[in-house]
Amino acid sequence: MKALLVGYGKMGRAIEAALVRRGHGVAGRFGRGEICLEGKEGKEVAAESCDIAFEFTAPDSAGALVPFLLSKRIPVLSGTTGWDVASAVRFAREQNVPFLHSSNFSLGVAALRRAVTAAAAALAAFPEFEPGIAERHHSKKKDAPSGTAKTLASTLEEASGRTGVPIASLRQGGVPGEHLVFFEGDDETLELVHRARSRAIFAQGAVRAAEWMLSSGRKGPLTFDEFFTATTEASALLSRGRRTP
């Protein structure tokens, strides 16, 4: 896999390291202001030079960059949050080009969402258990609540039938990410928590999702949940096959 890194900050460098560890190459690296739309001064993107683009820039850039890359028939994996992804999803569907956007590429967070669904469904019959979310990230993260917190809130609401799940956000220091989902009862609390210790976990998940995007042959908009489900189901089938006498 030859990858184009669009956004070469901390996440871009972490993705490059993950690509190298998994035997992939980098076709190009573009930082702020180094990639321009067609017709403007700057570098042009050659679709034949890369298999996929990793887009981790900023909310005010992603809305133009992602459709531009898709228009070049370049599959895009995007992790930028705080922008309206709906138009890019429609464009990817119209162009029949793979596009995967996620607010979080942690495998642990994907598992957390499934645990949250199970807990919320199990406690839906007991209204005294009130759900809530507390999340904290590094001080430079611009959006609050985070995209992951909003996704977890949506997961809670869908599984429990509640609306308006409260979210408390904190921005401080260099915390990569922490999400706590709690169900507060009268005399007891159930907590589910995920703590990221480094950005490497997001980079590893993004690269593995990109591998799946290309190997699956699927087109149009995709989700990280689809990748996670396909991978866990394949693993379960393999495990059952090994146990078959």
User: End-to-end distance of the chain based on CA atoms, in angstroms?
Assistant: 37
Which one of the listed residues 2, 10, 138, 141 is annotated catalytic?
A: 141
* 142 is known as an active-site residue: no
Greatest Cα pair distance in the chain: 64
Which one of the listed residues 24, 72, 101, 137 is annotated catalytic?
A: 137
Tell the residue number behind the tokens 């499934």, with chain if given: 114
* 141 is known as an active-site residue: yes
- The catalytic site residues sit at 137, 141
